[in-house]
Each structure stands twice: as C-alpha cells, then as structure tokens.
Amino acid sequence: MLVSSSKSNSTAVVADESNLDTNGTRTELIGSPVTASPDTPRRLISASDGPDIAFRWIARGSGTIVVTVMSLVGLFLLYQGFQALQVAGPSFLTEQSWDPNSGKFGIAAVLAGTFFIALTAIAFALPLSLGTALYISEYAPAKIKSALVTVVDLMAAVPSVVYGLWGVFFLSGAILPVSQWISTYLGWIPIFAVNGFDVSDPLASPTAFAASTFIAGIVVALMVAPITSSIMREVFTQAPMGEREGALALGATKWGMISSVVLPFGRGGIIGGTMLGLGRALGETIAVFLIISPVFVIQPHILEKGANSISALIALRYNEASKFEISALMAAGLSLFVITLIVNFIASTIIGRSRSGNETN
C-alpha cells in the first residue's frame, strides 16, 4: 500500500512498514531511501501562576535581606571601630594588653583565647556528635529514633545562660579532680602543664584549675554538639541504599558497612558540620563570660586558671567603656565577625563539594 502526501508543491511517496530493508532503512517502491528532516529543539516556556511568582519573589527577597543585613552589620562594625583601628594600627592584632584609654590595646590575647576555647570545645563535641549521629541514624530502634532526634534538637534551644550556670555551679567543682589528674600524669605535654602547681604536694590547692579554658570548652562543646550532630545525622541518612545493601550482600558486618559506605559518603558533612560548630563556638559569649577568669596574656595552658575571648571581653567591658574604648570593642567585634564568616564559608564550601552535598543540591 502506498501513501501519498503533498507538501510545498512536492509529492513524497512513503512506503509502509513492510518496505523496510534488512538495515531498517525505509525505502520507496523504486528503492531510493527517504531522508527524515533533522529534529529541532523546542523552546520550553514555563507558565507561572500567581503562587509561583509570589514564592519566587519571596525567596529572592529573603536572600537579599539576609545578605543586606550581614553587609550592614559588617559596615556598622567597621564604621564604629575605624577610630580605634586607626590609632592602634597593625599592633591591634599583635598587642596582648587591653587598655584603650592609654593607647595600648590589642586582641592578640583574647583572639588566642577564643581559638583555644573553641578548639577545646570541638575536641569534645566531635566524637560526641559523631557517635550520637551514628547511633540515631544506624542503630537506634525505630520506636525511639524520633524521640532521640527531638531531644537532641531541643538541646540547641536551651539558652546559653543555662549552660553557663550549670558550668559555674556544678561542672567547675566536679571537673577539678579530673583536671588535676590530667595535669599530674600528662603535664609533660605543654598544653596540660599548670604553672605554680606542685603535683608532688598532696596539700596543693586545686583552685589553680578553676575558671580555665578546659571548663569553658566542655560547656561550649555541649552547646555546639546538637548542631553538629544534626548535620551529620542528616548526611548519614542520605547514604545510598544500594551501596548499603551491596556491602551487606558481600558479607560486610554492620560496622563494616558503616565504615565503607556511610562514613566515606558523609565525610563532607562531618567536616562541614564540625566547622559550623567551630563557628558557633568562636562567638559564644554568656556561658564563657560566666565561667572564665579574664586574663590579658596568651594562655596556652588549657587546664590553668585564666582565659579570655573576644565575645567575653565585649560583655565584660561594654557597660563601663568610654567612647574610644567602645570603638576598640567594636573593632574587636569586627575581627570576630570576619573570622566567623570565613569559617562558615569554608564549611559551606566543603559540604557543597562533598559527595553528600552534591546529592542534596
């Protein structure tokens, strides 16, 4: 059967399916192949209704507001602290003492103390968060999993002053024997040494270990652990089910599957969540302010009494500060603002470039 059609004043004769040769080429009755016109891509035009347009503008507006507010905060701190930065110059980053009214001030001591407290907190929070996230995502029974998630998330909502009071009235006294034991047996490590404490004297007072970086770090660790654990848990639950089942089918144990599939998949989430927790620890104020005994020298001995941080410095000196000292405190706040932004940006980049981050984009 032949089908004829005219197009652009030309007639094309097309054979039916019975006229296909061995290569699948459609031929005419006279044997000449019929060439098909090339496919042309179609333009896809999305039709947006009212709710879609409203959502698009709300999302754009929200993002713009966040960036604008962050920029305004940075500009405000720069404007308020410019006078102090101009007077101090480069020594603002190298000077340890803090006496703006005499013209001798800097953030070297409080900046070092900020990092010591934050790193101590992360040293405790990382294994705690990792273990919690793995238990909830891999081992916890389904009946209690949702309850555990709720409890961990609620810990992030506890006010920092509550953690600070707990650290002052309970942890400070309970942790002193532990600090003394660490200094006695690990004091040969510089960060665990305590000046002025004789480990051979049984009557030596343990007050040398009070109000230390160690105690503040433990309290801050409990504050950042819920955030870090939540990020890790979400990443672990996204590990591909096919790879999980494949590892188990090849004879791997439960832990073997976790170590070969879940942990490598969630490596970016572990690093990124830890760094986000570090950013939170760097800016913690009230809990640290209540626990530490402020000193304005670089204090690398985390068990020894005396510590400081930029946020605690601002809380301590703001009410009694002169106009110029307020400018110096604003400059210190600007440095903390920039450091926190850098840490959070690095964490977001690591998460986005990881395998788990690509899966969620």
pLDDT digits (tens, 9 = 90+) for 138-160: 999 989 999 999 999 899 889 99
Residue 309 inside a domain? The answer is: yes
pTM given for the model: 0.81
Token readout for 222 is 């409990």
Residue 253 inside a domain? The answer is: yes
pLDDT of 255: 93
Tell me: pLDDT of 318 over 50. yes
pLDDT of 246: 92
pLDDT of 358: 55
CA 214 centroid distance within chain:
22
Dist. CA 86–CA 348, nearest whole Å: 33
Residue 14 inside a domain? The answer is: no
CA angle 37, 40, 45 (to 5 degrees): 150
> Could you tell me how many residues make up the chain?
361
Token readout for 84 is 């102090």
Contact 303, 214 (CB under 8 A): yes
Residue 84 inside a domain? The answer is: no
Residue 55 inside a domain? The answer is: no
Residue 324 inside a domain? The answer is: yes
Contacts of 265 (CB under 8 A, 6+ apart): 235, 236, 238, 239, 240, 243, 355, 356
pLDDT of 156: 87
CB-based burial, 95-112: b 16+ in 10 Å, e otherwise: bbebebeeeebbbbbbbb
CATH code, domain carrying 225 = 1.10.3720.10
Dist. CA 61–CA 142, nearest whole Å: 40
Mean pLDDT score across all residues of the chain: 84
How many domains, in total, are found in the chain? 1
pLDDT of 28: 46
pLDDT, average across residues 241-251: 91
pLDDT, average across residues 291-320: 91
Contact 122, 213 (CB under 8 A): no
pLDDT of 91: 92
Could you list the residue range(s) of the whole structural domain that residue 307 is in? 106-360
Residue 6 inside a domain? The answer is: no
pLDDT, average across residues 16-33: 48
Residue 119 inside a domain? The answer is: yes
Tell me: pLDDT of 233 over 50. yes
pLDDT of 204: 65
Dist. CA 243–CA 241, nearest whole Å: 5
pLDDT of 202: 62
